[in-house]
Amino acid sequence: MSNYSPDYLQALNKYPENFARFITRIPGIATTTDRAAVISALTPTHEAVLRDGGIEPKMLRRAQQVHGNKVALVGDIGCSYPVEGVDGLFCGGKADCCLGIYVADCAAVWIYDTVTQSRALVHSGKAGTQQNIVGETMKAMYKVLGVNASDCIAVISPCIRPPHYEVDIVTMIKQELVEAGIAPEHIIDSGLDTAADLETFYSYRVEKGNTGRMLALFGRNPGFDAE
């Protein structure tokens, strides 16, 4: 099985306590316009990637993803999932849960505090980016967990980009991360366009909704605690 740990996630995975993955297109899975049905078909592989990393699928924490800018603190025990009305999730550094965000052109943004080991995973498409969801996430992490943006690293996933899309959401996301206090040199952009490589990625726009979903994952590496 591929470990779905591309080079752009090395900035996170070089810290042994981190488990960061981006599960791309899965060969042999038929796509459909029914989001729930396609996610159901993809789930066995998604869960296998979690287990391969030593994480039980029951520890996955997901957001409803309504294209807004609300975020939620999650942990080892909590509310039902996906968390309603939110597009971003964050947790403390010692939490055993694994954050998960589905995308198929929108950007997933990983945020990691190198001091407290707190983590966030954000769904930032056109609407969420226009509402500064990454900035709202940083505010929440500071308020709830005492996270300082100057200690953080951010990674932007493959997503749709010009010329395949009229809005350059990546440039906006980078600017919002900088305005939130993350140093430009600590912002890593995958540089990849989902609409330009349908062998590797799903693209809602190019496939006109008849598509799958990629899954961004961010959690604590169980192997780190076992060492």
* Residue pLDDT, tens place only, 60-106: 999 999 999 999 999 876 556 799 999 999 999 999 999 999 999 99
Domain boundary assignment for the chain: 7-220
* Mean pLDDT score, 104-112: 98
Token digits for 164?
């395949």
Which H, E and C letters describe 2-42, residue by residue?
Answer: CCCCCHHHHHHHCCCCEEEEEECCCCCCCCECCHHHHHHHH
Chain segment 138-167, per-residue pLDDT in tens: 999 999 999 999 999 999 999 999 999 999
Cα atoms in the 13 Å half-sphere on the side-chain side of 106: 26
Residues making up the chain, counted from first to last: 227
Asked if residue 159 lies in contact with residue 196, where contact means CB atoms within 8 angstroms, the answer is no
Separation CA 41–CA 35 (nearest Å):
10
CATH topology of domain 7-220: CNF1/YfiH-like putative cysteine hydrolases (3.60.140)
- Looking at every residue in the chain, the average pLDDT score rounds to 94
Alpha helices in 65-213 (DSSP H): 126-130, 133-145, 169-180
Separation CA 121–CA 170 (nearest Å):
15
Task: Kindly indicate the confidence band of residue 225, based on its pLDDT and cuts at 50, 70 and 90.
Answer: low
Look up tokens 């993350």; give the residue: 182
Separation CA 127–CA 92 (nearest Å):
27
Which has the higher per-residue pLDDT, 226 or 120? 120
Q: Which residues pair with 188 in a beta bridge?
A: 155
Q: What is the reported pLDDT for 227?
A: 45
